[in-house]
Amino acid sequence: MSEYMSISKAAEYLNVAKSTLRNWEAEGLITPLRTASNQRRYTKEMLDELLQGNMKAAKPKKLLTIGYCRVSSGHQKEDLQRQKDVVSRYCEVNGYQFKIIQDVGSGLNYKKKGLTELINMICKKQCERVVVNHQDRLVRFGFEMIETICQANDVELVVINQTDNVDPNS
């Protein structure tokens, strides 16, 4: 009987990042088993097949990291530029290939052009990571919903400057 490996152990076995395994799955190169709680499980045999060249493509395409920056009004253009600088610097330091999406509009408005583009990219698996400077720059309320959408599509959500115990009404 085969021993089942978590995505971390499988990535270690193949000497690749966990995101690479997720990307290979999205491209149909490997199909892991799923637990009742929807966690991926791999067998040594399925990973060995991947190593033996049964992959459809030798190298999966590298997905973008999306930096999302938002301010509430046009009067905050300096703050928007600061956010873009911080997010860009973070992506550069981490060696990510990235694109910045920016919005000017209320964090309560979910119909902003940039936010709509971001959600579409997440749902179409066109990015592997979303980076924001602060949690409330993504949305004022409903961050957990965006987080769930990211998790369902294997997209990492990175908040650079995480503030603990923030009252969303403040």
Same CATH fold, 64-159 and 4-51? no
Q: From the candidates 6, 72, 88, 106, which is the catalytic residue?
A: 72
Rounded Cα distance, 100 and 83, in Å: 10
Identify whether the C-beta of residue 128 lies closer than 8 Å to the C-beta of residue 156.
yes
Domain regions of the chain by residue span: 4-51, 64-159
Identify whether the C-beta of residue 98 lies closer than 8 Å to the C-beta of residue 121.
no
Mean per-residue pLDDT for 10-30? 87
Does this model's pTM top 0.85?
A: no
Q: Quick one: tokens of 154?
A: 């294997």
The one-letter code for the residue type at 53 is G
**Which stretch of 60-69, 128-137, 151-160 has the lowest confidence by average pLDDT?**
60-69
pLDDT at 8 (0 to 100)? 94
Mean per-residue pLDDT for 135-155? 90
Structure confidence at residue 66 as a pLDDT band (50, 70, 90) = very high
Catalytic-residue membership of 72: yes
Q: Quote the crossing angle between the two packed helices 143-152 and 113-123, to the nearest 10°.
A: 30
Structure confidence at residue 59 as a pLDDT band (50, 70, 90) = very low
pLDDT at 156 (0 to 100)? 94
Rounded Cα distance, 4 and 160, in Å: 34
Say if residue 132 is exposed, middle or buried (CB neighbours under 10 Å; 0-12, 13-18, 19+): buried
The fold for domain 64-159 equals Rossmann fold (3.40.50)
Rounded Cα distance, 95 and 131, in Å: 13
pLDDT at 2 (0 to 100)? 65
- Taking the domain 4-51, which CATH number applies? 1.10.1660.10
